[in-house]
Amino acid sequence: MYLHLNLEEANKILQGAASLFMRIGIKSVSMDDIAREIGVSKKTIYKHYSDKKELVLRVIEADHRNEMKACEECYKTGENAVQKMIDISRHISNHHRDTNLTVLYDLQKYYPEAWDRVSEFQKEFIQHAIGQNIEEGKHEKLYRADLDVFTTASMYGTLIRGMMKQLASRQNTYDFKTLHLQMVSYHLYGICTSTGRAYLKQHINEITNEK
């Protein structure tokens, strides 16, 4: 019972911190702000998280767990590889459509460990998931047979990291949703066969559909 309450309290802090970060940015939020936001003492926060850096890191890790769960759910469906990619991309687009880009800037500039964790996630989990999708699409003859799976998945990872770097820049003029759709479209149109492209043309706009 105590362990359950402890976990519940820790999750409440994570959710409250994530909400504040998304509204205001990370650098501008203090531990006092988080304590006020969720109605607990600062001492209670420090009981679960040693400092703000650890809290930021745990927020990032929780977000990554949600992303992995969403990908796994998409792969449980009986849809073809192109549709699975569209479904995953729609989830990501909806999940991040209101992302405060100051969060990305703050992560890159002030929280290098958390930013590196984002890069690791993109390189390891996302590239692996894309590789799995490419294998499936080749088998279904929706993706080109001549594709090298590892190289193509790595290139997609490079696209993601480039997109994140652009969004984290103070000179950025794009919103997440627009840039993400262009990136996914670029990837899919480049790897699809004529059959895959015909399907893609009918469904690509589903990526920006609201859930």
62-208 has which fold? Tetracycline Repressor; domain 2 (1.10.357)
Burial class (CB in 10 A: 0-12, 13-18, 19+), 31: middle
Q: Average pLDDT across each block of 10 residues of the chain; the chain has 211 residues. List them in order.
A: 65 93 93 94 94 95 88 84 93 82 92 91 87 96 97 93 89 90 95 97 87 54
The CATH H-level (homologous superfamily) assignment of domain 1-49 is Homeodomain-like (1.10.10.60)
pLDDT, residue 4, reads 45
From first CA to last CA, the distance across the chain in angstroms is: 36
* CA gap 142, 134 in Å, rounded: 9
If you ran DSSP here, which 8-state letter would residue 208 be given? G
Cα separation values, 17 from 34, 38, 98, Å: 6, 8, 16
SS3 51: coil
Residue ranges of the domains in the chain? 1-49, 62-208
> Two tokens at 164?
């994140």
